[in-house]
C-alpha cells in the first residue's frame, strides 16, 4: 500500500490537470452557447446559428444576436479571462492569497474615473471607458511609485499597504461624488456593481490593445513567477530579479484589470477567487497551469454569470457580481473543504 501511495498520488495529480482543463473547456463552451442563445428576447436557436454562420436572417433577431449578444459574449470572455489572469499573477507575485486587482488600486481608480465622467461630465459620457482605464492605470502608477521608492522598495508588504491607501483615497472620492450628486446615482450604480452592457464592438475596439499587452506580459511572466514562488533569495540565485518580476506582474495586472473595468465596471470576486479554485482543483500552484486555467475559468464564470444576470428577471438586467458569487462560492467552499 505504502509502495503504491506516492506513485498513485503522482498519477492522480498528473491526471488532474488535463481533467481540470477539460472541465473548464466544457464549462466555457456551455457558457458561450448559453450566452448566445439566451436573452430577454426569445430568439430560436436556428436563427442564432444562421446569424453566426452569416446566412440570410431578417428582422430584429439578427441585430439582437449580431450587435448585442455576440459582442457582449466576447466582452464577457475577455474580461473574465483578464480578471482571472490578473488575480493569478498578482497572488503569485505578491505571495499573498488575498491579492486581487483591488490591491494595486486599479479598481478604486477606475471607479473614480468613471463616476467623475458620469456625474461631472455627462456630456462626455462616450469617454467613460477611457476615463475608467486612465484613472485605473493612474491609481496603479501611484501605488507603484510609492511601493518602489524609499526603504524596502518593491517589498510585498509595501505594495499591499500602498495599494490599500490608494484604494481608500479613490473610494472616498467616489463616495463623495455620489453623496454630492444623489440624483445621478442611478447612472453610476450599475458601473459600481459591475456588469456588461450591450454596446456593440466599439468599446472592445478601443480597449483590446490593453488586453493584448496585458495577456502577452502575463504569458511571459509565467516562468519568472514560478521561480519567484521559491522565494526572493532562491529566485535571485537563479538569476531572476524579484522586484522587477513583481513590478512586471503588477503592471500586467493593472493593464488587464483597468481594461476590464473600462468595459464591465467594478467586477469584484472573480480575480480573487478563480485562481484559488483552479489551484485547488488542479492540485498545483505552478503558474504554467494556474494562469491559463484562471483565464479559462474566469471567462466561463463571467459569461455564465452575465447570462444569468440578464435572463433571470428578464427583461430587467441585474448587476453581474451577485451571480458570480452564487455560481463561484459554492464551488470554492466545496473545494476548500475537500482540499485544504
Under the binding rule (CB under 8 A), the answer on residue 190 touching another protein is yes
- Say if CB 87 and CB 101 are below 8 A apart: yes
Q: What are the φ/ψ torsions at residue 221 (nearest 5 degrees)?
A: -90, -5
Q: For residues 246 and 310, which CB has a smaller minimum distance to another protein in the complex?
A: 310
In the window 66-85, what residues touch another protein (CB under 8 A)? Answer: 67-69
Sorted by sequence, the CB contacts under 8 Å of residue 296 that are 6+ apart come out as 21, 24, 25, 27, 28, 81, 84
Stretch that binds another protein, among 74-82, 214-222, 252-260, 309-317 (CB under 8 A): 309-317
Under the binding rule (CB under 8 A), the answer on residue 286 touching another protein is no
Least distance (Å) between residue 197 CB and another protein: 5
The two most distant CA atoms of the chain are separated, in Å, by: 72
Stretch that binds another protein, among 35-43, 226-234, 246-254, 286-294 (CB under 8 A): 35-43
Q: For residues 131 and 282, which CB has a smaller minimum distance to another protein in the complex?
A: 131
Least distance (Å) between residue 310 CB and another protein: 6
Among 154, 222, 310, 323, binds another protein (CB under 8 A): 310
Stretch that binds another protein, among 96-104, 158-166, 189-197, 224-232 (CB under 8 A): 189-197
CA 154 to centroid of chain Cα atoms: 24
Q: In this structure, what C-alpha cell is assigned to residue 333?
A: 467552499
- The string of DSSP letters for 76-120 reads HHHHHHHHHHHHHHHHHHTT-TT--GGGGTHHHHHHHHHHHHHHH
Q: For residues 6 and 123, which CB has a smaller minimum distance to another protein in the complex?
A: 123
The whole-angstrom separation of Cα 278 and Cα 291 is: 9
In the window 126-185, what residues touch another protein (CB under 8 A)? Answer: 126, 128, 178-185
Stretch that binds another protein, among 27-35, 48-56, 160-168, 199-207 (CB under 8 A): 199-207
Name the DSSP letter for residue 198: -
Q: For residues 54 and 315, which CB has a smaller minimum distance to another protein in the complex?
A: 315
Q: In this structure, what C-alpha cell is assigned to residue 56?
A: 440570410
In order of 157, 158, 161, 277, the CA distances from 331 in angstroms are 30, 32, 30, 8
Among 39, 84, 242, 275, binds another protein (CB under 8 A): 39
Q: For residues 171 and 199, which CB has a smaller minimum distance to another protein in the complex?
A: 199
Neighbours of 178 (CB within 10 A): 17
Q: In this structure, what C-alpha cell is assigned to residue 144?
A: 507603484
Neighbours of 87 (CB within 10 A): 30
Q: In this structure, what C-alpha cell is assigned to residue 62?
A: 439578427
Name the DSSP letter for residue 229: T
Q: In this structure, what C-alpha cell is assigned to residue 180?
A: 454630492
Stretch that binds another protein, among 17-25, 65-73, 249-257, 271-279 (CB under 8 A): 65-73
Among 317, 320, 323, 324, binds another protein (CB under 8 A): 317
| Residues engaged in binding another protein (CB under 8 A) | 39-41, 60, 63-64, 67-69, 118, 122-126, 128, 178-187, 190-191, 195, 197-202, 310, 314-318
Amino acid at each position: 500500500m505504502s509502495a503504491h501511495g506516492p506513485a498513485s498520488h503522482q498519477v492522480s495529480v498528473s491526471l488532474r490537470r488535463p481533467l481540470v482543463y477539460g472541465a473548464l473547456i466544457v464549462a466555457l463552451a456551455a457558457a458561450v452557447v448559453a450566452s448566445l442563445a439566451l436573452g430577454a428576447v426569445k430568439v430560436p436557436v436556428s436563427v442564432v446559428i444562421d446569424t453566426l454562420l452569416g446566412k440570410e436572417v431578417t428582422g430584429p433577431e439578427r441585430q439582437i444576436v449580431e450587435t448585442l449578444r455576440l459582442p457582449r459574449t466576447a466582452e464577457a470572455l475577455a474580461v473574465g479571462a483578464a480578471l482571472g489572469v490578473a488575480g493569478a499573477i498578482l497572488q503569485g507575485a505578491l505571495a499573498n492569497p488575498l491579492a486581487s486587482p483591488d490591491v494595486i488600486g486599479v479598481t478604486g481608480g477606475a471607479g473614480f474615473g468613471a463616476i467623475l465622467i458620469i456625474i461631472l461630465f455627462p456630456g462626455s459620457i462616450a469617454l467613460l471607458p477611457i476615463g475608467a482605464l486612465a484613472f485605473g492605470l493612474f491609481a496603479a502608477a501611484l501605488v507603484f511609485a510609492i511601493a518602489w521608492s524609499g526603504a524596502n522598495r518593491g517589498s510585498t508588504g509595501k505594495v499591499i499597504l500602498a495599494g490599500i491607501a490608494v484604494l481608500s483615497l479613490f473610494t472616498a472620492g467616489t463616495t463623495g461624488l455620489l453623496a454630492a450628486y444623489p440624483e445621478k446615482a442611478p447612472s453610476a450604480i450599475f458601473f459600481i456593481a459591475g456588469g456588461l452592457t450591450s454596446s456593440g464592438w466599439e468599446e472592445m475596439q478601443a480597449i483590446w490593445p490593453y488586453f493584448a499587452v496585458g495577456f502577452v506580459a502575463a504569458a511571459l511572466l509565467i516562468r519568472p513567477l514560478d521561480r519567484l514562488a521559491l522565494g526572493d533569495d532562491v529566485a535571485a540565485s537563479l538569476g531572476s530579479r524579484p522586484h522587477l518580476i513583481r513590478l512586471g506582474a503588477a503592471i500586467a495586472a493593472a493593464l488587464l484589470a483597468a481594461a476590464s473595468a473600462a468595459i464591465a465596471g467594478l467586477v469584484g470576486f472573480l480575480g480573487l477567487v478563480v485562481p484559488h479554485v483552479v489551484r485547488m482543483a488542479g492540485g498545483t500552484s505552478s503558474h504554467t497551469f494556474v494562469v491559463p486555467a484562471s483565464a479559462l475559468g474566469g471567462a466561463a464564470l463571467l459569461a455564465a454569470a452575465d447570462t444569468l444576470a440578464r435572463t433571470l428577471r428578464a427583461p430587467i438586467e441585474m448587476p453581474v457580481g451577485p451571480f458570480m458569487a452564487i455560481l463561484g462560492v459554492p464551488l470554492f467552499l466545496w473545494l476548500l473543504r475537500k482540499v485544504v
